[in-house]
A and B are shown apart, each in its own frame.
Chain A
Amino acid sequence: MPGPIQSIERAAAALRLLAAAPEGLGVVELGTALTLAKTTAHGILRTLVDVGFVEQAEDGRYRVSEDLADLGRPRIDANDLRAQAVNWADSLASRTGESVRLAVLAEGRALVVHHVFRPDDSRQELAVGTSLPAHACALGKVLLAWSVGGRRGARLPALTQRTVVDPAVLRRTLAAVREQGWALDVEELLAGTASIAAPVRDRGGLVVGAIGIDGESERLVDTRGRPRAGLVPAVRQAARSVSRGLGARGA
């Protein structure tokens, strides 16, 4: 087993010093305190700034960033996410004629935080607050595909005959989702229903949610189970627009 990694130890020591200095520290002060050369101290600080744990103020001094304090918290409040997504969710429903849902990952499931009715003025129930088994719907697959440390080896219950229940198959599916940038479910959650979803990213590029459409499988996919023309681009465009509102670069 290798010994402790020196640069990580130094970074940790730098963070402790910075956290204890509300006024912030300069490169020289930090170098002196840790008995490091100025260039080494500078390199550590620049790296910590790059990963977002440290900020450099206008006066040139370094402080720990708010991101560091928020490490354990969700990156964005679900109600904030909905507020950002409302306009684009409406447009997506209007463009595709299908109902739209926005979901976040909560306890391994896809928690619906926003729902737009299918625009046919039929009687529909608001699904906000319901949570869906992540492995069986497009929203959930998107969320799992980009989640870190997802629950390995968890049992995958079958909801229909088509639900993916083999963890190895799911792993391959999620890799394909990451590759193509969107996810599909054809009657894996509910017989006769299909769904398509794409990732919503925050300003740091992290996937914080998924937005997608769901509806009768006949309307969403062709006889060979492929999404009908125009639907995937519409979903991905909505996801990009929401991401842009959250400050995602290149979205």
Chain B
Amino acid sequence: MATELQDGERPEHRGYVAAVDQGTTSTRCILFDHSGRLVAIAQREHRQHYPRPGWVEHDAAEIWRNVARLVPQAMAQVDAEPGDVVAIGIANQRETVVAWDRHTGVPVGHAVVWQDTRTADLVDALAADGGTHRFAEACGLPLTTYFAAPRMRWLLDEVPGLRRRAEAGDVLFGTIDSWLVWNLTGGPDGGTHVTDVTNASRTMLMDLRTLDYSPQMLEEFGIPRACLPEIRSSSEVYGTARTVVPGARIGAALGDQQAALFGQTCFSPGEAKCTYGTGGFLLMNTGTEITRSSHGLLTTVAHRIGDEPPAYALEGSIAVTGSLVQWLRDNLGLISTAPEIETLARTVPDNGGCYFVPAFSGLFAPHWRSEARGLIVGLTSFVTKGHIARAALEATAWQTREVVEAMDADSGLRLASLRVDGGMTSNNLLMQTVADVLDAPVVRPMVSETVSLGAAYAAGLAVGFWPDTQALRRRWHRAAQWDPTMDPATRASGWKDWQQAVQRTFGWIRH
């Protein structure tokens, strides 16, 4: 073994859990030690394919190659050998669909990514007969292009011969977690075809109450059961890796946002976190009872540990947060790196009356307006690029408030403080603004890579590296806290301005 035993370290505490965070733009492998500390990190971006307007694709083979390369890279940083990896946990971009040949392991075309809107007509046709909420009772989700099942149906309809091969079991379907577990466990040579309850809860095919595929939903979407992965718990050993880290047990798979909720140790009802990445995702644990939303939130599974009852969650997603900063960098050239947005925004003391609603592909929670489009309002000759930068950051803060208010209304609880994580938490101005507009403290935990940490925690639990969720809770520490300082009148008038700006985005695309 390459890892040396340090003073006071117990033999059963040595080794690392490897977390694979397979995200929308990049893949990361992070190693955590028994204290839950990040000890190594390797990252690589993958190509985004935009073959037509509204289409977004990834090459699943490229993603798998990246995983196979990154895990050994991270291990090399701490001289770890395969025997030092006690478990592998996977967290993945959700709702992205891959289909592949079971005999060769070759993907059928590109993976269709969660941002892809090619299924708009299909979704409209399904919604014409009973409205967008006709399946909410079973799966907790509205009919939109966001979820996986319409994408599977689209592939089955559009790729010649695919339906026949899927029915025969020659082609397998799955979300990215299924693709990675199948490849890690041997691929064509006996790979395990599974998914977890959190990923399955984003397909529209799983019944939230039974945690199994709903025969009704399979029929509505016309998807043959034979091609779908078996639904398992989020934290359990799915199998043993036969490649990359031969012999390591694969102990967890979770959708990335549920992984972040797990990594923030939000194990009790009422505990919530918001992850700021490309988009923003606020999830609240609602316990073992299914909570339905009447304010535009999604009902989803938070996690399931082994044979324990599942925990459910309410989710509010914001489509555009970090991607707005990228847009200012790449499309307008206002900044040369994403963190410079803070430098630019601090050149002015306020937004100068300018508001920016980034409804680039419509608005998600709580509005769900697919026909809305983005706007910048309140422009005068006084407004500079500094004001635009500030308005862009404030947009993330105001959208957080919209989702928090919906969450409070649905859960009947008032969020006392907000736990945050993700890349944008390194932006101090943004975090202060979120605290200001929420009028609540914003708290960042010691490990801001909570997506990876959650996957590692769940995998470590499955193999007994950590005994229980209490032990994980003890590892959560506050790394930073931002307290509200904005005066109530400014907050109230800003909130009013923001809501007015949002109203103006509605109905831009005419059907």
Contacts and interface: CB of A to CB of B under 8 A. Distances in A.
Contacts of A82: 339, 426, 428
Contacts of B340: 77, 79-80
Interface residues of B, number: 28
Contacts of B338: 83
B256 interface: no
The 9 closest A-B pairs by CB, nearest first: A119-B477, A79-B339, A83-B339, A79-B342, A80-B339, A83-B426, A116-B479, A94-B37, A86-B426
A83 B422 CA distance: 11
B374 to A, nearest CB: 24
B348 interface: no
Interface of A: 77-80, 82-83, 86-87, 90-91, 93-95, 114-117, 119-121, 124, 126, 128-129
B106 interface: no
B417 to A, nearest CB: 13
B481 A117 contact: yes
A106 to B, nearest CB: 13
A79 B36 CA distance: 26
B477 to A, nearest CB: 4
B342 A90 contact: no
Given A117-B480, A126-B482, A87 B448 contact: yes
B244 interface: no
B337 A119 contact: no
11 contacts: A80-B337, A82-B428, A86-B426, A87-B41, A90-B479, A94-B447, A94-B477, A115-B480, A126-B480, A126-B481, A126-B482
Most buried by B among A83, A115, A129: A83
Contacts of B339: 77, 79-80, 82-83
A91 B37 contact: yes
B39 A91 contact: yes
Interface of B: 35-39, 41, 337-343, 423, 425-428, 446-449, 477-482
A79 B477 contact: no
Contacts of A93: 446, 479
Given A83-B423, A119-B477, A121-B478, 4 more contacts: A93-B446, A93-B479, A116-B480, A117-B478
B471 to A, nearest CB: 16
Most buried by B among A79, A86, A90: A79
Nearest to A95: B37
Given A93-B446, A94-B477, A115-B480, A77 B39 contact: no
A94 B35 contact: yes
Nearest to B39: A91
Contacts of A121: 477-478
A77 B343 contact: yes
Contact of B343 (A79, A94, A116, A117): A79
A90 B37 CA distance: 8
A40 to B, nearest CB: 36
A84 to B, nearest CB: 8
Contacts of B36: 94
